[in-house]
Amino acid sequence: MAEKILLIGGSANGFGRETESDSASYQMVSALLKRGCEVFLIDDNPDSFTASRTDVHVEVLDLNAENLVKVIIANGITGIVPTVGGTTAIRLAFEVQQILGDQGPKVYGLSTPVLKATQNTKYLQERLQQWHLPAVQTRLASTPGEVFDAARELEFPVVVRSIAPQGQALRMQAEDAEELDQIAEDALARSLTHQVNVDKSIRGYKEIALIVMRDFRDTNVLIGGIEDMDPVGIHSADSIAITPIQTLADPVVQTLRHTAFKIARGFDIKGLLQVRFAVNPEDDSYVVTRLVPYYDRKVSLIEGATGYPMVPVMTGLMLGDRLEKVHIPSSYAEHTAMLEPTMDHVVMRFPVFTFGELELGGIETNRRLDTIQKSVGATIGVGRSLEEALEKALRAAHFSNRIFSPDLMGELTDSQVIAQLIHPQDNRILLLLEAIRRGYTVDELAELTHIDAFFFYKLQKIMQLEIDVQEHPWDIELMKKAKYYGLSDGLIAKLWSSVYDSVRRYRWDNNVLPTYKAFEPSAGEFQESVSQFYSTFETENESERLGQNTVLIIGTGAFRLGDGAAASYVMAMVSDEYKRQGYETVLMNNNPHDLTFIPQLSDKQYFEPLEISDIMNVVEVEQPTRIVVPGNRIKLINSLKAAGLKVDVIAREKYLESTLTDPKEEILINYFFDGAELHPIVLSHQTNRQVNIETAEQVVLRDLDVPEMPFAEPGLYQFVVPKMPAPGMKLQGEMRPMPFTHVAFLDKISHVDWLRILVRFILNTSTPDDEALLDRLPEFDWPYERAVLHYQDAEFKEHMNIQVPLDNGQFAMGVTYEVE
């Protein structure tokens, strides 16, 4: 009998979980279906791309153990997969196992002990000790008095973590008794069991993560390692991260690798395990800090950086395949699953913060980074040198090109600079550059920050290069060097007080052209058929034009505010439909976790920044028939059009400047615009907390006045009116593109892929069914009576320590929905 496998979704996106787990579950579904499994998914996240698959049974329910048990029993589920739904899924699998015990379905990808180890640090530490592996020293405490006793025993600074926390697990660091006093009670209160762990601080250690695969026969493979630039002390997601590991010598890396294998063996892992280490730079001693037995942002980074078929392999191994026999897509060389990936490029992950946007919204923030994650997204830069990777990651993060101008950070006093060196803020890299500019030596900076001197030499080199370029306008040798180390045409233009077009032409005239290199796991040793590329400026180009009829799709980049997951969903859906319509698709993006990077979704992928010059370079290679661009990239759209290119715009609402924080309600009339005519789809109500749709109300759409349409592009739009419209009444209000979050929600509750229809209208390939659907819209047969979209902002407040009410349309980190 076919296995019935339930994937546990991740619910609302939030800090620490972008779309990487959705991307993994999408791929895992493909692998499971191929093996003849029947696949179920429980998730209430409307942005879920996996849940839009028609070959999966989707249960839209609150993610709690009770609902899970119901779904398991009702459908006769034989196996559950908690490794592609983030921490929520892991916790739920643990709870389900507690409830159902041996009667429950098999848990795939995780052993019971490792599940326990993720939920119970003390247990993990006991096991590590048993295997003679070093763990963080920790004490359990259940009263403020015990917390203080533990801190005195371990010596300050200490880190306090709530056991079984309500909401996100937080790590709070206390430097001294006074700070401990402030957090002890709070940490205890956040614990469902009123207990906390007090850990000895390992601040200043290097943070290293290794990702390994293991099969049931005890074959262990190291897939990759990540080094954080910042030492332990700020949350790992808030640090610049680099792969491959740069500053550790071979014996250290081998010790960590061997330790990771021991742990995987000890916990009988079948599939994926990530082990986090802290390495003392003084003596290379180390401690194991955490186990992550599921697909998270680091795994996703390594998957992108190495080109290793991570999800197909982990799926095979969890179901009991041997690594030697595991099935991987035919585009990979036969032995790829077994080859330990080796890289001939550098990948840098650069965190993206939103303090600036919050402050623009009038919200007070504290920009200091600590052990609680503050970044909301990340970009990657890929290059053949650290300098190049950093430059590309920086510009992908949309830093202003002026960041290297000498006066930007000039206003800080020297003592402010020192304070920020010791207590990092979101502008970390700018500050480090400023400190170099002010003449701090590499050794001083390494001492103050505990960042390896290696990185400061690199920053120094970047800064010197920029100064040289600035001082020698139109010097071709310096331009070559600047391009070699990753400076964009835009930045060079700025340094030369010119415009990017002129720099670009000058570059062309002098034959300084990008070369694209393949991502593949053998560093050139083997011939692999590769579809993923990055640019550099060397001698050999490996990327040839894909075909005569391609569409280039520009992704939405890093998560920033609110609609990151929805934007990822929208572009993935659009991309997939172009492919279905017979185009070869080329995808360009810089967010390693983005859904658009799902390997089978597009024919070719470029991991590149999304500045105009980067895009034009790819356009020259691919010469696409059409270019699909999110509607908020107005400058880009105009440039592409000016260059005579066919641009398909996916209308996108920029962040609304509405002030929905008061209890008022907006009425939204949502339209499909086919380029000529507005078709009303649904009327919804939006407040600061939610969007409501009542099927019974939709009758009002039948005799609705047609509002003025200020947009020309086909798309999904919404008309905002202050109160419920009556038949025949003239509609007064404002037309805007439908926010992506609403688009994803609308797809889910109508069971219609509106974006696919949109693409068909853009391409003039709409079907009679499409036309019929639009014509009969007022009589649309809604599958539900009522649907509610909930904005989830609790995590935002928690992570950013914000006390005032937030405008959820803008600041919610994720959404859930329910239907009746």
Partner 1 sequence: MAKRYLILEDGSVYEGVAFGAPATTFGEIFFHTAMTGYQEIMTNPIYHNQIVVFTMPTIGAAGINHRADEAIGPMVKGVVVREVAEVSTNRLQSMSLHEFLLRHNVPGISQVDTRALTRHLRETGSQKASIVDYPDDHAFDQLRALVLTNQEVQQTSTPRAYVNPGRGANIVVIDFGLKNGILRMLNDYDANVTVLPYTATLEEVLNLDPDGIVLSSGPGNPHDIPDEMLTLIQTLQQKVPLLGIGLGHELFALANGVQVEPMRIEHHGMNHPIREQITNQIMYATQAQGYQIVKSTIKGTDVFVTHVDLTDGSIQGLRHRNYPAFSVQFFPDTAPGPVEATQPFDDFMDMVTVRRGG
Interacting residues toward partner 1 by CB under 8 A:
217-222, 244-251, 253-255, 257-258, 261, 281-284, 323-324, 335, 338-346, 384-386, 442-443, 446, 452-454, 457, 461, 484, 515, 517, 522-527, 538-540
C-alpha distances (whole Å) from 747 to each of 216, 548, 581, 754 are 41, 32, 19, 6
Q: What is the DSSP string of 582-644?
A: T-EEEEEE--TT-GGG-GGGSSEEEE---SHHHHHHHHHHH--SEEEEETT-HHHHHHHHHTT
Q: Shortest gap between Cβ of 202 and partner 1 (angstroms)?
A: 17
Amino acid at the residue 589: N
- Closer of 89 and 252 to partner 1 (Cβ): 252
CB 213 within 8 A of CB 313: yes
CB 17 within 8 A of CB 94: no
- Closer of 510 and 767 to partner 1 (Cβ): 510
- Closer of 220 and 274 to partner 1 (Cβ): 220
Q: Shortest gap between Cβ of 294 and partner 1 (angstroms)?
A: 24
C-alpha distances (whole Å) from 573 to each of 60, 193, 568 are 20, 43, 9
- Closer of 251 and 710 to partner 1 (Cβ): 251
Q: Beta strands of 687-730 (E only): which ranges?
A: 690-694, 715-721
Rounded-to-integer distance, Cα 574 and Cα 463, Å: 40
- Closer of 10 and 231 to partner 1 (Cβ): 231
CB under 8 Å to 751, separation ≥6 — which residues?
783
206-214 and 271-279 as β-strands: parallel, antiparallel, unpaired? Answer: antiparallel
**Token pair 């170099």: residue:** 436
Q: Shortest gap between Cβ of 813 and partner 1 (angstroms)?
A: 35
Q: Shortest gap between Cβ of 261 and partner 1 (angstroms)?
A: 7
- Closer of 137 and 255 to partner 1 (Cβ): 255
Catalogue the long-range contacts made by 452-457 (C-beta closer than 8 Å, 24 or more residues apart).
452/206, 452/229, 452/246, 452/247, 452/281, 454/246, 454/247, 455/229, 455/386, 456/432
Q: Shortest gap between Cβ of 698 and partner 1 (angstroms)?
A: 58
Amino acid at the residue 704: L
CB under 8 Å to 762, separation ≥6 — which residues?
648, 714
Give the residue among 594, 596, 593, 569 at the shortest CA–CA distance from 585.
596
- Closer of 328 and 789 to partner 1 (Cβ): 328
Q: Shortest gap between Cβ of 33 and partner 1 (angstroms)?
A: 28
- Closer of 466 and 747 to partner 1 (Cβ): 466
Q: How far is CA 550 from the centre of its chain?
A: 27
- Closer of 251 and 439 to partner 1 (Cβ): 251
- Closer of 518 and 752 to partner 1 (Cβ): 518
The backbone torsions φ and ψ at residue 582, rounded to the nearest 5 degrees and listed phi first, read 95, 5
- Closer of 525 and 769 to partner 1 (Cβ): 525
Give the residue among 239, 174, 171 at the shortest CA–CA distance from 205.
239
| Tokens linked to 611 | 């500045």
Amino acid at the residue 38: E
Give residue 155's region: left, alpha or beta (phi > 0; psi -120 to 50). left
H/E stretch holding 290: strand 286-292
Count how many residues are written for the chain.
820
Distinct helix (H) and strand (E) counts, the chain: 27, 30
CB under 8 Å to 144, separation ≥6 — which residues?
184, 185, 188
- Closer of 250 and 781 to partner 1 (Cβ): 250
Q: Shortest gap between Cβ of 446 and partner 1 (angstroms)?
A: 7
H/E stretch holding 403: none
- Mutual angle of helices 453-471 and 428-437, in 10-degree steps: 70
C-alpha distances (whole Å) from 312 to each of 42, 319, 591 are 21, 11, 21
> Across the beta sheet with 158-162, what order do the strands follow?
138-141, 196-200, 158-162, 171-174
Q: H helices of 228-376, where?
A: 250-266, 297-306, 310-318, 355-360
Q: Shortest gap between Cβ of 204 and partner 1 (angstroms)?
A: 13
Q: Shortest gap between Cβ of 547 and partner 1 (angstroms)?
A: 23
Q: Shortest gap between Cβ of 321 and partner 1 (angstroms)?
A: 13
Q: Shortest gap between Cβ of 340 and partner 1 (angstroms)?
A: 4
Opening angle at CA 720, ends 717 and 721, nearest 5: 145
- Closer of 486 and 733 to partner 1 (Cβ): 486
Rounded-to-integer distance, Cα 186 and Cα 330, Å: 53
Amino acid at the residue 332: Y
Q: Shortest gap between Cβ of 327 and partner 1 (angstroms)?
A: 16
- Closer of 23 and 522 to partner 1 (Cβ): 522
Q: Shortest gap between Cβ of 324 and partner 1 (angstroms)?
A: 7
Half-sphere exposure of 200 (CA within 13 A, CB side): 14
Q: Shortest gap between Cβ of 454 and partner 1 (angstroms)?
A: 5
Helix (H/G/I), strand (E/B), else coil: 172: strand
Q: Shortest gap between Cβ of 443 and partner 1 (angstroms)?
A: 7
